[in-house]
Amino acid sequence: MITFMSLVAGYGRAGDILRGVDFSAAEGSITCVVGPNGAGKSTVLKACSGLLRPRSGRVLLGDEEIGGLSPAQILRRGVVQVPQHHGLFPALTVRENVLLGAYVNRRERERNRRRYEEITGVFPLIAERAGDRAASLSGGQRRIVEFARALMLRPKVVLLDEPTLGLDPKACARLADSISTLNREGVTVLMVEQNVRFGLTLADDAVVMEGGRVLHTGPADALLADPDMGRLFFGGAPSRREAS
């Protein structure tokens, strides 16, 4: 579904952050990108969503080249990014925030209304808190609203940048259910996550990055069971019970 081929990208005079990134996120899968700070994980998502123009290399959505297109063009092709920092409008209601996910199709009011009703069935919180201002929600609830907003355009791919950032363990558990719900809706999920155990437990496939390059790709459960990876990320190999 999403393929990165020899991708090189960076920020102005800071130079290249990504130095030839190659990997794919399979259609219908959850793929988690992990690695130390500064590895280039979030930069990959920005190059995919159009927030950053690649210097060279390719970003493919299926067979179509999307690297270098504008964020609006990529959004219309079905790629939605949920940012690392909370992106809701706190003074707007939950319903208003969700409907903003269809802003590019704002003239299709009846279609958007029907889609909103469908989403309330997927995420009951949306119906329960529809009239409440986003500022009144907990961190985990705000993330769910962001996921609901991402579904308004029936995306093919959702990019999640550090979805557990700032959340407590209970909120993380609810978040895992919500990400699985996104995936069951037929959405391909490409996720960057610092909470490695959370991300790899949830994912089908894993990508390990360091220094702007890909060090490893493979099944997420195999990475969790790898003693070398366990020592790198956890200070010791996780047991199968811990990884489940």
Query: Phi and psi (nearest 5°) for 5?
Result: -125, 115
**Helix H or strand E encompassing 201:** helix 196-202
Ordered by start, the domain boundaries in the chain are 2-87+155-243
Tell me, rounded to whole angstroms, the distance of Cα 214 from its chain centroid.
Answer: 18
For residue 234, what pLDDT is reported? 57
Superfamily of chain region 2-87+155-243: P-loop containing nucleotide triphosphate hydrolases (3.40.50.300)
DSSP bridge pairs for 64: 61
β-bridge partners, 189: 30, 158
Q: How far apart are CA 6 and CA 176, in angstroms?
A: 31
Output the tens digit of pLDDT for each of the chain's 244 residues. Answer: 899 999 999 998 778 999 999 999 999 999 999 998 889 999 999 999 999 999 999 999 999 999 999 999 999 899 999 887 767 899 999 999 999 998 877 888 899 999 999 999 888 999 999 999 999 999 889 988 998 998 898 899 999 999 998 888 888 898 899 899 889 888 999 999 989 999 999 999 999 999 999 999 999 999 988 877 766 665 544 444 344 3
CB under 8 A, 24+ apart: contacts of 121-125 = 122/148, 122/151, 122/181, 122/185, 123/147, 123/148, 123/178, 123/181, 125/94
What Cα–Cα distance (Å) separates residue 235 from each residue in 154, 203, 222?
40, 21, 17
Q: Write down the pTM of the prediction.
A: 0.85
- Tell which phi-psi region holds residue 50, choosing left (phi > 0), alpha (psi between -120 and 50) or beta: left
State the pLDDT at residue 235. Answer: 55
β-strands 16-25, 2-10: how paired? antiparallel
Looking at this protein, which amino acid is placed at residue 64? E
